[in-house]
Chain A
């Protein structure tokens, strides 16, 4: 009895000291490892930023669709529908931030139109662009005009799910309308086109079910897919995150099922042409090299 009493409390008394020392060692190591890792990350950032800069110098579009077309000519495939995830900082200087975002959207549209991508969807979490649809339309149009010579400017249609549609100012009838210009569809997305759309669909289905218009067993993946494709958009072929890390930031979940996702890690240049081109190269399973 006394033996049991004597031996039982012993292990817990001996262990805490050991455990304490071990934890101290772990903590020290943790600090060392992360100090080294922080250095590594900084070096990596510098290296990648330099590489990025090199790419930017090697590949530049010079606002010329022909050059962009040449850059993507060797690719085995081009996405038909490209999605981009861009950021907008609502805490920043509103006007400047919006201007920056509009410039990005304009440039992206021009690159897509030049590369032969038919649909571009721009995801921006807060949906600031949706409140400036006419401005966005005007901005994209003017950017397209700086890239394309008159009469070959692609026809632009701007769409905005879950939003009263915007009818753009009528484009003057082109005298060369026999040769169909390439078309570009731009879709503006925000966080409400993701989960909220699925929630809205659930609400509608619930109402129908409550009124006896629908049996819950009728709800199938195909039905949901048809409704979501109809109200928002179909699946993009390629999603490019222009952030520093690969995070989808609330991008519509239903649609990214099989999309390829590209992110240039530690990307510090924001929406850059070289990132766009690298994404297309990755998608087309091609290697990008410095020089020709």
Chain B
């Protein structure tokens, strides 16, 4: 029975019609808002294999086919970034035998994915691998590097393969990198070509030109020493300011307040220690976002996990806890395809077009209030 069904589905006219229908659907979806970044947790390959009396590896193969189909749908409707969870760091805590099997599979899969080169070229997809590379086996790394290399010129879309990845590791890495970068002393070469001392002296000179002459001469003696600035300027600064203040006092009351205002910053900046660090208070959540693996990518719009397990399992925590729509699909990953993806996309579009645009509570007022 199933073989007959399969035979009919694979006959050329039927295949052509389904292909046309798929194209039509994807073209239709493209007319509305499209999530820019979609993340998938591909769960359920093993369970699918067990349920259908297959070898585990067969389940993984079908899962891979589902991934290729899903990727094609995503890029066709205009998703720019797709992130998939391939391996967790936790997986590496299993037995060596299992880890080796996983590595072998990764190697094969990535090789296969790279073989879909035309698909990747057609949509301009660039591979990226997010995670702890050093945990991978060298031969797997080689395959990965080759895959990255072959798609490095593409720029329209991105495929993030997260392996070996956990989100906590990503956040920790972001924190560590931020700390490292903020612990580098800032070279004092960012100084602008204007010396504050010189400006202060010029102001004083202008004020004194209208006032008494005596201190102005006194000040001009300082000028040749102070002009070469840097270290000499730092040691002279307090001297100059006290001098300036007493001069200003002798001049007039209004200019006194003026000079003290302009001079105070010069004393504070020139007395700081020689090794200055960037101010830690300038770190914001945007800074950390820029240090995440997904830096520069559009925010995550849609998080999809198959097989009905309703948790994030350490995937994209930083990215998905704000405004991301989280969808748990009941089907297993090998069953996932356009047919299962379509309702999710439609609902996301519907939400974007109705609920999200006019603020949150737009639908609350409509007749359906219960309780």
Interface residues of A (CB under 8 A from B): 22-23, 25-27, 29-30, 33-34, 37-38, 41, 45-46, 49, 52-53, 56, 87, 89, 194-196, 198-199, 201-207, 209-210, 216-217, 219-221, 224-225, 244-254, 256-263, 268-270, 272, 282
Please determine whether B353 and A34 come into contact, CB atoms closer than 8 angstroms.
Answer: yes
Asked if A246 and B171 make an inter-chain contact with CB atoms under 8 angstroms apart, the answer reads no
Residues of A within 8 A of B31 (CB): 23, 26-27, 29-30
Taking CB as reference atom, which chain A residue is nearest B319?
A253
Any A CB within 8 A of the CB of B318: yes
B172: contacting residue among A27, A219, A252, CB under 8 A:
A219
Could you say which residues of chain A place their CB within 8 Å of the CB of B311?
A: 258-261
Interface size class of B (residues with CB under 8 A): 35 or more
Q: A30-B29, A49-B368, A268-B370 are in contact. Are A206 and B353 (CB under 8 A)?
A: no
In the complex, whether B58 has a CB less than 8 A from a CB of chain A is: no
Q: What is the distance, in angstroms, from B320's C-beta to the closest C-beta of chain A? A: 7
Tell which of B239-247, B262-270, B323-331 binds the partner: B323-331
Most interface-central of A201, A216, A258, A259 (chain B CB within 10 A): A216
On whether the beta carbons of B288 and A198 are closer than 8 Å, the reply is: yes
Contact flag A245-B351 (CB < 8 Å), given A219-B176, A256-B321: yes
- Contact B183–A258 (Cβ < 8 Å): no
Interface contact A262-B310, CB-CB below 8 Å: yes
Interface code B24-35, partner A: CB below 8 Å = 1, 0 otherwise?
100111111000
Are A216 and B180 also in contact (CB < 8 A) when A26-B28, A245-B351 are?
A: yes
Please judge, given known A-B contacts A34-B350, A195-B285, A248-B322, whether A282 and B368 are in contact too, CB under 8 Å. Answer: no
In the complex, whether B1 has a CB less than 8 A from a CB of chain A is no
> Are A258 and B314 neighbours in the complex by a CB distance under 8 Å?
yes
**Which of the listed residues B182, B313, B325 has the most CB atoms from chain A within 10 Å of its own CB?**
B182
- On whether the beta carbons of A248 and B368 are closer than 8 Å, the reply is no
A-B pairs with beta carbons under 8 Å apart, 30 shown: A23-B31, A26-B31, A27-B31, A30-B31, A37-B346, A41-B347, A49-B368, A52-B370, A53-B371, A89-B361, A195-B285, A195-B318, A196-B285, A198-B285, A199-B284, A199-B288, A202-B178, A209-B183, A219-B172, A248-B320, A249-B322, A253-B321, A257-B167, A257-B313, A257-B317, A258-B312, A258-B314, A261-B310, A262-B310, A272-B371
A residues near B24, Cβ cutoff 8 Å: 25-26, 29
Say whether B168 contacts A210, CB under 8 Å.
Answer: no
The A-contacting residues of B in range 129-182, CB under 8 angstroms, are 167-169, 171-172, 175-176, 178-180, 182
- Interface segment among B6-14, B45-53, B100-108, B275-283: the answer is B275-283
Q: State the 7 A-B residue pairs at the shortest beta-carbon distance, nearest first.
A: A30-B31, A206-B280, A253-B321, A195-B285, A253-B317, A26-B27, A248-B321
B280 touches A207 (CB 8 A): yes
Taking a contact as CB atoms under 8 Å apart, the answer to whether B175 and A219 are in contact is yes
The B contact surface, by secondary structure, is: helix
Q: How far is the CB of A101 from chain B (nearest CB, A)?
A: 14
With contacts A203-B281, A268-B370 known, what are 5 further pairs, Cβ within 8 A? A33-B28, A206-B178, A220-B172, A247-B325, A249-B323
Compute how far the CA of A209 lies from the CA of B180 in the bound complex, rounded to whole angstroms. 8
Closest to A191 in B: B322
Docked-complex contact A269 and B321, CB < 8 angstroms: no
For A46, the chain B residues whose CB sits under 8 A away are 368
Check B369–A268 contact: CB distance below 8 A. yes
* The one of B326, B354, B370 that contacts A246, using a Cβ cutoff of 8 Å: B326
Query: Chain B residues in contact with chain A, CB under 8 A?
Result: 24, 27-32, 167-169, 171-172, 175-176, 178-180, 182-183, 277, 280-281, 283-285, 287-288, 310-314, 317-318, 320-328, 346-347, 349-351, 353-355, 360-361, 363-364, 368-371
Residue of A22, A199, A216, A262 near B285 (CB, 8 A) is: A199
Q: Is the CB of B317 within 8 A of A38?
A: no
Instruction: Let me know if B312 and A33 touch, CB within 8 A.
Output: no
Rounded to whole Å, the gap between the CB of B131 and the closest CB of chain A is 13
Contacts of B285 in A (CB 8 A): 195-196, 198-199
Chain B residue numbers with a CB within 8 Å of A203 are 280-281, 283
CA distance A199 to B363 in the complex (A): 35
**How far apart are B291's CB and chain A's nearest CB, in angstroms?**
9
How long is the Cα–Cα vector from A164 to B32 in the complex, in angstroms? 48
Complex: A216 Cα to B176 Cα, angstroms: 6
Within 8 Å CB of B284, what residues of A?
A: 199
Nearest to A210 among chain B residues (CB) is: B277
Contact yes or no, B361 A225, CB < 8 A: no
B283 and A199 contacting across the interface, CB-CB below 8 Å: yes
Q: Which residue of A lies closest to B183 (CB)?
A: A209
Q: Of the candidates B182, B325, B326, B369, which one forms a contact with A210 in the assembled complex, judged by CB atoms under 8 Å apart?
A: B182
- Report yes or no: A33 in contact with B327, Cβ–Cβ below 8 A: no
Which residues of chain A have C-beta atoms less than 8 A from B323's C-beta? 247, 249
Chain B residues near A248: list those with CB within 8 A: 320-322, 324, 326
Contact A198 B29 (CB under 8 A): no
Chain A, residue nearest B313 (CB): A258
CA distance A260 to B305 in the complex (A): 13
Given the complex of chains A and B, what is the CA–CA distance between A219 and B172 in angstroms? 7
* Contact (Cβ within 8 A) B183 A253: no
- Which A residues are CB-close (under 8 A) to B350? 34, 37-38, 41
CA distance A211 to B350 in the complex (A): 52
- Nearest B residue (CB) for A208: B179
* Cα A252 to Cα B346 with chains together (Å): 29
Residues of B within 8 A of A202 (CB): 175, 178-179, 280, 283, 287-288
Cα of A71 to Cα of B43 in the assembled complex, Å: 32
Decide: B370 and A224 in contact? CB cutoff 8 A.
Answer: no
**Contact, CB under 8 Å: B312 / A256:** yes
